[in-house]
Amino acid sequence: MMTAQLIDGKLISAQIKEEAAKEAAQIKAKGVNPCLVVVLVGNDSASQVYVNNKKKACEAVGIRSVSYELGADTTEEELLHLVAQLNADEAVHGILVQMPLPMQINEEKVILAIDAKKDVDCFHPMNVGLLHTGGNGFLPCTPAGIIELIKRSGHTIQGQNCVIIGRSNIVGKPVAMLLMQENGTVTICHSKTRNLAEVCLGADIIVSATGKVNTVTADMVKAGAVVIDVGMNRNEAGKLCGDVDFDKVKEIAGAITPVPGGVGPMTIAMLMKNCLVAAKMQNNLM
Ligand SMILES: Nc1nc2c(c(=O)[nH]1)N[C@@H](CN(C=O)c1ccc(C(=O)N[C@@H](CCC(=O)O)C(=O)O)cc1)CN2
């Protein structure tokens, strides 16, 4: 029985961070010290881990990182005030507010308040719009990481049937845009899609981003397809797993990402690239 190529997100993200480190050194040689500010509000333990990993990645790449850790009772006004201060600080090139935010804070308002030129998450509507018309340099981190995983593991996107399951603003919609820019033929599926299995069986590339265990089962996958799993779920045993029935699908697919160790690490590697884009844009080095 065939076993799929394992797409190693840890390895590919390490390569991207090495490339970013070289670029950071070149930017510094021109007198610019790239700087990312990460803002964490509240005590979400997973968010604390991600923020720490972002700090470590900055250190490895040579990006100055500053973090603000605010209490869970922080008001929207207080957070917006901090964002305004960071917008005005010329030494700060990238601003990232870790999501999710506590209930009392409106995430959309916060995203809108971040200067679009410092929006290294590429969440601001201005940057989302620019992505649709060709882009300004920032790429949404997880979607851009998915494209890198596919290409760097030796797979072509041009002309391929790409099926995305999930239509979120953070993954589904932007990954559709990026796959189209790579000349893929894109179908977006969601909870109301009829005959999901049939649609998936026509796919050369499947990207699943539903946050539901076993969204993609072996009977939905064409032999040799590339399967990208964006899910981060817990199974019945409490173990971290993706949306894809990995053990069975790997016997059918041509290539597959694991969870953990697939898409997740790419998010932070692509963030490093956006921080360098921000530093270059703000210093006319593009
Ligand atoms: N402002 C933002 N908030 C959030 C983002 C984001 O891109 N910007 N994405 C997620 C969290 N996230 C980064 O912030 C993130 C999630 C997961 C991983 C990762 O490497 N996952 C590992 C598994 C980790 C584990 O064991 O729990 C993997 O998949 O291998 C990195 C970054 C929501 N918030």
Residue 134, marked binder: no
Q: What is the pLDDT of residues 9-30, one digit of tens each?
A: 999 999 999 999 999 999 999 9
CA of 260 to the centre of ligand 1 (A): 11
> Distance between CA 145 and CA 262 in Å, rounded?
10
Residue nearest to atom 5 of ligand 1 (CA): 99
User: Quick count: other Cβ atoms within 10 Å of Cβ 53?
Assistant: 15
Average pLDDT over residues 259-279: 98
Q: What is the pLDDT of residues 129-162, one digit of tens each?
A: 999 998 779 999 999 999 999 999 999 999 999 9
- Where does CATH 3.40.50.720 sit in the chain? 140-264
Confidence of residue 2 (pLDDT cuts 50, 70, 90): low
pLDDT score at 122: 98
Instruction: Give the position, in ligand 1's atom list, of the atom nearest the Cα of 232.
Output: 29
Q: Residues near ligand 1 with C-beta < 6 Å?
A: 50, 96-99, 121, 141-142, 232, 240, 259-261, 264-265, 267-268
pLDDT score at 136: 78
Residue 166, marked binder: yes
The residue from 17, 54, 117, 250 that is catalytic is 54
Stated as kind and residue range, the H or E segment containing 189 is: strand 185-189
Burial 25-52 (b: 16+ CB within 10 A, else e): eebeeeebebbbbbbbbbebeebeebbe
Asked if the model's pLDDT at residue 279 lies above 80, the reply is yes
Asked if the model's pLDDT at residue 87 lies above 80, the reply is yes
121 catalytically annotated: yes
Q: What is the pLDDT of residues 47-64, one digit of tens each?
A: 999 999 999 999 999 999
Average pLDDT over residues 233-259: 97
CA of 1 to the centre of ligand 1 (A): 33
Average pLDDT over residues 27-39: 98
Average pLDDT over residues 278-283: 98
Confidence of residue 286 (pLDDT cuts 50, 70, 90): confident
Residue 234, marked binder: no
Q: In what order do the strands lie in the sheet with 5-6?
A: 5-6, 255-256, 226-229, 205-208, 161-165, 185-189
Q: What is the CATH number of domain 31-115?
A: 3.40.50.10860
Asked if the model's pLDDT at residue 98 lies above 90, the reply is yes
Q: What is the pLDDT of residues 62-77, one digit of tens each?
A: 999 999 999 999 999 9
Percent of the chain with pLDDT over 90: 98
Residue type, 255: A
Average pLDDT over residues 184-209: 98
Instruction: Give the position, in ligand 1's atom list, of the atom nearest the Cα of 142.
Output: 7
Percent of the chain with pLDDT over 70: 99
What is the rounded radius of gyration, in angstroms, for the C-alpha atoms of the chain?
Answer: 19
pLDDT score at 48: 98
- Where does CATH 3.40.50.10860 sit in the chain? 31-115
Q: What is the CATH number of domain 140-264?
A: 3.40.50.720
Asked if the model's pLDDT at residue 1 lies above 70, the reply is no
5-14, 90-99, 108-117, 129-138: least confidently modelled range: 129-138
245 catalytically annotated: no
